Amino acid sequence: MKLIKRIFYFLFYLIGSALIAAIFIKKDYTVEREIVINQPKSLVFDYLKHLRNQETYSVWYKMDPNMEKTYKGIDGKVGFVSGWKSKNENVGEGSQEITKIVDGKRIEFKLLFKEPMESENQIYITTSSLSTGKTKVKWGFKGSFSYPMNLFRIFIDIDEAVGKDFEGGLKNLKKELDGE
């Protein structure tokens, strides 16, 4: 009986300590990556604002070229929704909606995952002209873990996990637009 009590107290202490620690762990996160494209900003922006073009550069589309895709609305306009459903657990199921366009500068998206885990995140892509024919593209991702799920930030490096996918996507974008 004493052993069971000790195990119970140990588990209670362990869980309690984890819940207290989660109070002090940041809930919000941001991941950003950027690349320079050797094309005029207007060309790059016009390409990026069309969600269907992500099929040519996003690493997630390349993971499962046979995923089911759905589209609703007018691509390149606020309100356009691109959905997907994949048997590949790294791709899962979800949708992306254009929520804001600042012409020539910024596109914002709402990203909803249904599988492998339900979540809602904000994504943005910005373009800025470095010189005639050179454009900096920044791809960013903002999200938040709710309490006590933020405790998993100790084990998961969001910047590394999502950042490498953004880097791969931006390299693919550069190849697509620069013709490299």
Distance CA 77, CA 93 (A): 22
Tell me the pTM: 0.81
Start-to-end CA span in the chain (Å):
70
Distance CA 68, CA 83 (A): 8
Per-residue pLDDT of the chain (180 residues; tens, 9 = 90+): 788 888 877 777 777 776 776 677 777 778 899 999 999 999 999 999 999 999 999 888 888 888 899 999 999 999 999 999 988 887 889 999 999 999 999 999 999 888 777 778 899 999 999 988 899 999 998 877 777 776 676 767 777 877 888 899 999 999 999 876
For the 27-178 domain, the top CATH level (class) is alpha beta
Distance CA 85, CA 49 (A): 22
Grouping H, G, I as helix, E, B as strand and the rest as coil, residue 23 is helix
Determine contact, residues 123/96, Cβ cutoff 8 Å.
yes
Residue type, 134: K
| Domain layout of the chain by residue ranges | 27-178
Strand partners, 141: 31, 123
